[in-house]
Structure 1
């Protein structure tokens, strides 16, 4: 009995340490440092249907229509920020993927709004059906519906 109690305590102790070492719930919010706060807000809300979670004179936080993801925009060289978060994004080397239920429907809606389509809707051999647009900051946005090839 004593041995079982010691084993129980040992496993409880180990599992407690292990559970504390693993990261808990995690949420990602991509951020772009840009002077184009108004243009970004207009693009993401009017073209993609995002909502405003928070906004002030130097920061804008937007959420997807289902509120499952967010993207933020920060004014460059703002006095409230540390040097790491002051340099403006240069418009290259970043893309976002937005997964939707019906990419054809979204494609037609975005086209009807007069948005410049950078990559026309297409099927890929690996199963994606997608198209791409670009936000005011130069970020490529791949709008996709995934399926099995």
Structure 2
């Protein structure tokens, strides 16, 4: 598991290490996995799998990796202060200064589905002057989740 986590961070830097030698890699292969350090791993799992229909890529007692329904993106959750992790990855997220955007094909349908499940809508469905049609909810960690359908900008 430790190798897997290290590989993610190395690939984000655009460098790879083979036999102790560092070389620049093709940045077109870069993949981002946002990670949240939290005590609320089970609550996060329930929210993202049951509410937003994410799938489970990997799970153990201190780490959870989820993927979007079409497997185009991932998000991970890590227990704070876990002995297997370096101090840089110990402190838990404080609930402020982070948001996620999930792009969908039909924002009205997603809005109806979430309302029918009793999910609290933090920002009601709206159309912005620049063309986005969106609404927002909040995950168990306090992260705002903006659910958007991009449309053409109106003049």
TM category (shorter chain) comes to 0.7 to 0.9
How big is the shift at 1:22?
4.9
SS in 2 for 1:46: helix
Question: Higher strand share goes to which structure?
Answer: 2
How big is the shift at 1:24?
3.8
> What is the alpha-carbon distance in structure 2 between the residues aligned to residue 82 and residue 76 of structure 1?
10
What is the RMSD computed on CA atoms of the aligned residues?
Answer: 1.0
How big is the shift at 1:30?
0.2
Count of residues in Structure 1 that have an aligned counterpart in Structure 2: 130
- The residue correspondences of 1:116-135 to structure 2 (distance < 5 A) are 116-135=120-139
Q: TM-score, normalised by structure 1?
A: 0.85
> What is the alpha-carbon distance in structure 2 between the residues aligned to residue 68 and residue 21 of structure 1?
21
Runs of 4+ in structure 1 off by over 3 angstroms are: none
Question: Higher helix share goes to which structure?
Answer: 1
Q: TM-score, normalised by structure 2?
A: 0.82
> What is the alpha-carbon distance in structure 2 between the residues aligned to residue 85 and residue 31 of structure 1?
10
- The residue correspondences of 1:1-149 to structure 2 (distance < 5 A) are 22-149=26-153
Higher Rg:
1
